[in-house]
Each structure stands twice: as structure tokens, then as C-alpha cells.
């Protein structure tokens, strides 16, 4: 009996998918999780998605009524999250567990190990993760399979625990076919932008400082698309810190701050930018960067793991050192003053995005699922 036979015999393998974020959150983990779950549902898997209860539910899952998708809003407290997963496992009987981050995988660990069921753990390129903590090491030791979006991230984990025999790289995919391409309109000239979760002391600060150093003759607007993390402690204080930062730099009247926007609107904002900037201080390869590449807007990004392993300086973006607002400003201004370079970088980014298809990403995930479930079926016969 194969996984395909399993799907024919009943509704489909029941998957417990645990994630920190899920649509309608903007960008990042939510975008990746929503894209992957949608594909797995359409591939015939019975998906049970566990996501923080304080995140608003999506207006629609976009999958129609024929496909099984169950979304559980559960407390983010680790003990209560584990209790909820156990509670539903007793009633549903999951066949495979998938934690879309290390904390999410850790929440599944006890029931998966106790029942001898496969567990997939995703590790991401963000927040400078070193994987030195006990939670990461326990997950690496017990997970059936570990997935990273870049080899750099996987190598970092492998230095802690030998995960080579049970790991793979599945790059983030993007559907660039239907995306409307960027074209610099006169009204958008001089607009510098970013998309993502806002951090006053990190990405917003670096970008805002770089923007202030641009010649006033070339800059027009700083477009900030996104919001602070609404689930984080001190959400309102974090928003106030961003507002205070922009006022303290005397650029508040030049800023366009969208707040939270539906993910479907992100490409509209990207097309209104003259230059898109991603300036993380730690390893990163965000969905917003790939979405900007798919649109073809010129990109300036910092040289951190994830970005430097995927993008090439002066071919599909301009790469600058992290922690350097002045270098960031010079790169932005270089693009703004050279329309030929802007088109060259935009075309290069678009070509890169076309090689990173969502279909390839989804096919690789389905292969991992099928292999683990086939192994589980074989164990049940032994």
C-alpha cells in the first residue's frame, strides 16, 4: 500500500501542521505556511493547522468546500499548545506531524515520539538563529526529517547535531507567472520601500537612517508596508517606537505607512517603489524579497546568509554590508540616478524569481511527506 492507495482508501493522511503564523498575516512564515498548506490540501492531504489563537482567522481558505482543511486557534503558551495537540490527536489520529519552526516542532515532539509517528521540522533563515539552545538540539535529535530553505541554514544546524542523513534543502518558491511587472512611473520616482514585520531597532531603523542620507533632490517617499507583530508583548509600544523613530529623524512627513495590508495587495505596493530594500542584520531569505524579485523592482539588500547565497551583486540586486546605513544609502542613490541600472537589476531579479517556482517547492514537500508516510506504513506491517 502506498500513500496514493491510502488517499484512495480514506479521506487522506491526516497531518498535524503547527505554525507560528498563518494568513492573513503579511509576509514571512504566514505566507509560506499558507502557500504550502494550500498545495498539500489540493494534493489530497487532510490538513489540521494549529496556529496562535490571537491571530485573526482568514476570511477564506481559498480552497473550496471539497478539500479538508481544519484550522485550530490555540494558545501560544507552550504547555497549552502541546495539550491542544494531544487533545486533537486523541480524536483525529494524526499520521504525521509537521512543525513549521523549531518551537512548533517541539510542541509536537512528545506525542510524535510517544506514538512512533513521523515528525518534520522546518528551520528558517531569520533572527540570527544559532541552534545552540536545548529546544533546537532535542528537535534535531528526534525529528524524522529536517527541512531548511537554504544550505547555509542547514549547515549551521549540522554543526550542532549530525542531521545530514535526515535533512534536505527546499528553497522558498514564488509564483511569478501571474505577477504584473514593475515599471517606473514618474509619480513613483524617489520612493524607497520595504515590506515585512516592523522592528524599530532593526530593519526600520537601518532603512530610515539610510533614507535620511539620500540627497533631497532624489528622494520623495519612504514607503513602509507592514506592521509590528500584533502577537508580541508591547505591540502598541513597538508601534510608538517606530513612529517616534521617523519623527526623530524628521522624515515622518515623507513616510507612507500602510499598516497591515492583505497579502494580495503587497505586489501593488511593490510596483509603486523605485527601490525595494531588505536590510536584515541576521541570516534571512524572506518571502518579501522573492516577491519583490518576481515583480522586478530593483533591490538593495544586506550581505547576510540566505541573501548572499541566492542573490548576486550587480546582477539581480545591489548587496551592501549589514549595519551600514551609509553604504545602504549610496546603493539606493546609485539605482535612483541610473535608470538603465534599475532596469538591469529588475530584469535580473525577475529571471532569478522565475527559477524559484512554487511548483518545485511544493513537489519537494510532497516527496518528503510521501517518503515518511510510506516508511510508517511499512513499519505497521512489520
Q: pLDDT above 90 covers what percent of the chain?
A: 54
Residue 61 has pLDDT above 50, yes or no: no
The predicted structure's pLDDT at residue 298: 98
Going by pLDDT thresholds of 50, 70 and 90, the confidence category of residue 176 is confident
Mark whether 363 and 345 lie in a shared domain.
no
pLDDT value of residue 26: 52
Beta bridge partners of 145: 120
If one counts the domains in the chain, the total is 2
Residues with Cβ < 8 Å from 275, sequence gap 6 or more?
191, 192, 193, 297, 298, 299, 300, 332, 335, 336, 342
Residue 155 is predicted with a pLDDT of: 82
Specify if 249 maps to a domain: yes
Please choose, from the candidates 25, 54, 53, 23, the residue with its C-alpha nearest in 3D space to the C-alpha of residue 36. Answer: 23
83 and 72 in a single domain? The answer is yes
Cell numbers representing residue 162 in the block = 549530525
Confidence of residue 114 (pLDDT cuts 50, 70, 90): very high
Quote the CA–CA distance of 61 and 344 in Å, as a whole number.
37
Is the CB of residue 290 less than 8 Å from the CB of residue 31? no
Confidence of residue 58 (pLDDT cuts 50, 70, 90): very low
Q: How many Cα neighbours within 13 Å face the side chain of 210?
A: 34
pLDDT averaged over every residue in the chain: 86
Separation of alpha carbons 267 and 147, rounded Å:
28
Q: Please tell me the predicted confidence (pLDDT) of residue 318.
A: 97
Helical axes 339-355 vs 287-295, angle rounded to 10°: 120
Residue whose entry in the numeric block shows the C-alpha cell 521540522: 121
Question: Distance from CA of residue 175 to its chain's centroid?
Answer: 14
The CB density around residue 120, as the number of other CB atoms within 10 Å, is 24
Q: Is residue 263 part of a domain?
A: yes
Q: How far apart are CA 50 and CA 76, in angstroms?
A: 10
* Residues 203, 145 within the same domain: no
pLDDT tens for 325-379 read 999 999 999 999 999 999 999 999 999 999 888 888 989 999 999 999 998 876 6
What residue has cell string 516592523?
Answer: 198
Instruction: Count Cβ neighbours within 10 Å for each residue of 37-65 and write b for 16 or more, e otherwise.
Output: bbbbbebbbbbbbbbbbebeebeebeeee
In whole angstroms, give the CA distance from residue 259 to residue 33: 21
- Kindly state the average pLDDT of the residues 10-18: 86
Nearest-angstrom CA–CA distance, 231 and 104: 16
Q: Is 266 exposed, middle or buried (CB count within 10 Å of its CB: 0-12, 13-18, 19+)? A: buried
- CA dist., res. 320 & res. 72, Å (int): 42
Backbone torsions φ then ψ of 147, nearest 5 degrees: -120, 130
Instruction: Tell me the pLDDT band of 152, cut-offs 50, 70 and 90.
Output: confident
Residue 180 included in any domain: no
pLDDT tier for residue 1 given thresholds of 50, 70 and 90: very low
- pLDDT of 277 above 70: yes
Instruction: Judge if 133 and 220 occupy the same domain.
Output: no
Looking at residue 60, what is its pLDDT?
Answer: 42
Residue 75, phi then psi, degrees to nearest 5: -60, 145
Q: What is the pLDDT of residue 63?
A: 42
Cell 499548545 -> residue = 81
Please name the helix (run of DSSP H) or strand (run of DSSP E) that holds residue 121, with its range, or none: strand 119-123
Asked if residue 369 and residue 242 are part of one domain, the reply reads: no
Domain that holds residue 97: 3-173+357-381
Please tell me the distance from the alpha carbon of residue 336 to that of residue 220, in angstroms, as a whole number: 11
Residues 332 and 367 in one domain: no
Question: Is residue 245 included in any domain, yes or no?
Answer: yes
* Edge-to-edge strand list for the sheet holding 191-195: 255-259, 221-225, 191-195, 275-278, 299-302, 318-320
Average pLDDT over residues 173-198: 89
- Pair (229, 349) in one structural domain: yes
Residue 347: which H helix or E strand, with range?
helix 339-355
**Same domain (yes/no): 125, 204:** no
Judged against a pLDDT cut of 70, whether residue 57 lies above it is answered with no
* Residues 373, 327 share a domain: no
User: pTM, whole model, 2 decimals?
Assistant: 0.84
What pLDDT score was predicted for residue 125? 59
Q: What is the mean pLDDT of residues 55-69?
A: 50
Task: Give the H or E element holding residue 325.
Answer: helix 325-336
**Strands of the 167-169 sheet, one edge to the other:** 69-74, 46-52, 14-18, 96-99, 119-123, 145-148, 167-169
Residue 26 lies in a domain: yes
User: 274 with 311, same domain?
Assistant: yes
Span 165-175, pLDDT tens digits: 999 999 888 87
Please check whether residue 181 lies inside any domain of the structure.
Answer: no
State the number of CA atoms in the 13 A half-sphere of 159 facing the CB.
10
Whether residue 300 is found in the same domain as residue 364: no
Q: What is d(CA 374, CA 262) in angstroms, rounded to the nearest whole number?
A: 38
In this structure, are residues 292 and 192 in contact, taking their beta carbons and an 8 Å threshold?
Answer: no
**Hey, is 64 helix, strand or coil?**
coil
pLDDT value of residue 127? 47
Q: Do 18 and 48 have their domain in common? A: yes
CATH of the domain at 168: 3.40.50.2000
Residue 334 buriedness (CB in 10 A; 0-12 / 13-18 / 19+): middle
Amino acid at each position: 500500500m502506498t500513500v496514493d492507495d491510502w488517499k484512495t482508501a480514506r479521506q487522506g493522511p491526516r497531518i498535524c501542521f503547527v505554525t507560528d503564523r498563518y494568513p492573513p498575516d503579511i509576509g514571512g512564515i504566514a505566507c509560506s505556511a499558507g502557500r504550502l498548506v494550500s498545495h498539500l490540501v489540493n494534493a489530497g492531504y487532510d490538513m489540521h493547522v494549529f496556529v496562535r489563537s490571537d491571530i485573526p482567522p482568514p476570511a477564506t481558505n481559498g480552497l473550496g468546500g471539497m478539500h479538508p482543511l481544519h484550522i485550530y486557534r490555540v494558545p501560544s503558551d507552550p504547555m497549552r499548545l502541546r495539550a491542544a495537540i494531544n487533545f486533537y490527536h486523541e480524536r483525529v489520529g494524526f499520521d504525521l506531524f509537521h512543525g513549521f519552526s523549531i518551537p512548533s516542532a517541539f510542541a509536537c515532539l512528545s506525542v510524535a515520539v510517544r506514538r512512533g509517528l513521523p515528525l518534520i521540522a522546518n528551520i528558517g533563515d531569520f533572527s540570527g538563529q544559532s541552534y545552540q539552545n536545548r529546544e533546537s538540539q532535542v528537535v534535531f535529535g528526534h525529528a524524522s526529517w529536517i527541512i531548511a530553505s537554504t544550505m547555509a541554514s542547514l549547515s549551521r544546524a549540522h554543526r550542532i547535531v549530525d542531521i545530514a542523513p535526515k535533512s534536505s534543502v527546499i528553497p522558498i518558491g514564488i509564483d511569478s507567472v501571474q505577477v504584473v511587472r514593475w515599471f517606473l512611473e514618474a509619480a513613483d520616482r524617489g520612493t524607497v520601500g520595504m515590506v515585512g514585520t516592523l522592528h524599530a531597532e532593526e530593519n526600520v531603523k537601518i532603512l530610515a537612517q539610510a533614507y535620511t542620507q539620500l540627497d533631497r533632490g532624489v528622494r520623495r517617499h519612504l514607503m513602509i508596508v507592514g506592521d509590528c507583530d500584533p502577537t508580541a508583548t508591547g505591540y502598541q509600544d513597538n508601534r510608538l517606537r517606530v513612529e517616534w523613530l521617523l519623527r526623530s529623524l524628521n522624515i515622518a512627513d515623507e513616510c507612507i505607512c500602510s499598516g497591515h495590508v492583505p497579502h494580495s495587495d503587497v505586489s501593488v505596493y511593490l510596483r509603486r517603489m523605485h527601490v525595494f530594500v531588505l536590510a536584515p542584520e541576521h541570516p534571512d531569505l524572506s518571502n518579501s524579497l522573492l516577491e519583490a524579485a518576481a515583480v522586478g523592482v530593483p533591490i538593495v539588500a544586506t550581505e547576510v546568509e540566505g541573501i548572499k547565497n541566492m542573490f548576486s551583486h550587480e546582477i539581480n540586486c545591489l548587496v551592501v554590508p549589514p549595519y551600514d546605513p551609509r553604504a545602504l544609502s549610496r546603493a539606493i542613490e546609485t539605482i535612483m540616478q541610473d535608470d538603465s541600472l534599475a532596469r538591469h537589476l529588475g530584469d535580473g531579479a525577475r529571471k532569478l524569481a522565475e527559477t524559484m517556482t512554487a511548483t518545485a517547492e511544493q513537489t519537494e514537500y510532497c516527496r518528503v511527506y510521501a517518503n515518511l508516510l510510506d516508511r510508517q506504513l511499512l513499519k505497521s506491517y512489520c
